[in-house]
């Protein structure tokens, strides 16, 4: 009897210690992988965030949608842009369509504007060939995507100083985005291998 009790009193603290070690290791691994918002909190799937852009020249801009033609009329489909001037347009929050509670670095996800769009499009970001106005062939982001389809698959990469970069495609073959000014204070997001901007996520 004494022997058994002695063994139990020894085994029990050892079990507690190893459980504690497992818990610490697990949470450590999770933390290093999770994308953090501007407050340092984990970015949650299906919660609204503003995406703030910072160019390599230090200029700031906010992600939103844009669909206005030369005559200032609504033009569909709309594209994803960054407004560097609040007079040109206001920030519009997005949600990350992701399978677990917290969004992870380099994990494939889809991005959707949190509110319905003016063109009544799904709002899911989709990379496709440019349709109009641009003098050179390129791919940019429209709002007519379908959750999880290959042209609506993005990843969030770690960048310097706690900021992040958006990339298109799988984590094996990610392609960066660049900015292309289409009118004063309005930059469209184009596929480009020399991305000049980082992003941060501000809870909406």
Q: Which is nearer to ligand NAG, 76 or 165 (CB)?
A: 165
Closest C-alpha to 93, from 121, 63, 117: 63
CA distance 50 to 15: 45
Local structure of 178: helix, strand or coil = strand
Q: Which residues bind ligand NAG (CB under 6 A)?
A: 60-62, 83-84, 86, 91, 160-161, 175, 191-193, 198
User: Please, which residue, 89 or 102, has the CB nearer to ligand NAG?
Assistant: 89
Q: How far is the CB of 161 from ligand NAG (least distance, A)?
A: 4
Q: Degrees (nearest 5) of the Cα angle 84, 175, 147?
A: 85
What's the closest the beta carbon of residue 172 comes to ligand NAG, in angstroms?
11
Structure tokens at 9: 């009193």
Alpha carbon distance 75, 92 (integer Å): 18
Shortest CB 174 distance to ligand NAG, Å: 9
What are the distances in angstroms from CA 138 to CA 134, 146, 166, 169? 8, 21, 17, 16
Of the pair 96, 197, the CB lying nearest ligand NAG is at 197
Supply the minimum distance, in Å, between the C-beta of residue 94 and ligand NAG: 13
Q: Phi/psi of residue 141, each to 5°?
A: -110, 125
Residues 34 and 103 sit within 8 Å (Cβ to Cβ): yes
Pick 76 or 202: Cβ nearer ligand NAG:
202
Min dist. Cβ of residue 118 to ligand NAG (A): 19
Nearer to ligand NAG, 135 or 193 (CB): 193
Of 128 and 191, CB closest to ligand NAG? 191
Sequence-distant (6+) residues with CB within 8 A of 25 are none
Residue 95 C-beta: closest distance to ligand NAG, Å = 17
Contact call for residues 190 and 168 (beta carbons, < 8 A): no
């Amino acid at each position: 009897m004494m022997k058994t009790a002695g063994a139990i009193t020894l085994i029990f603290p050892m079990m507690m210690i190893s459980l504690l070690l497992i818990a610490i290791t697990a949470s450590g691994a999770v933390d290093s992988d999770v994308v953090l918002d501007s407050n340092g909190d984990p970015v949650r799937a299906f919660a609204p965030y503003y995406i703030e852009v910072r160019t390599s020249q230090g200029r700031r801009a906010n992600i939103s949608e844009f669909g206005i033609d030369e005559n200032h009329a609504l033009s569909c489909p709309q594209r994803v842009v960054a407004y560097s001037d609040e007079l040109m347009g206001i920030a519009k929050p997005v949600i990350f369509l992701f399978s677990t509670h917290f969004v992870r670095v380099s994990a494939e996800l889809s991005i959707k504007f949190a509110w319905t769009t003016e063109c009544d499009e799904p709002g899911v970001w989709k990379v496709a060939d440019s349709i109009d106005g641009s003098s050179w062939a390129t791919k940019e982001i429209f709002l007519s995507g379908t959750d999880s389809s290959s042209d609506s698959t993005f990843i969030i990469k770690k960048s310097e100083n706690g900021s992040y970069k958006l990339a298109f495609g799988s984590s094996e073959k990610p392609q960066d985005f660049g900015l292309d000014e289409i009118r004063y204070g309005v930059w469209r997001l184009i596929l480009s291998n020399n991305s000049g901007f980082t992003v941060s996520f501000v809870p909406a």
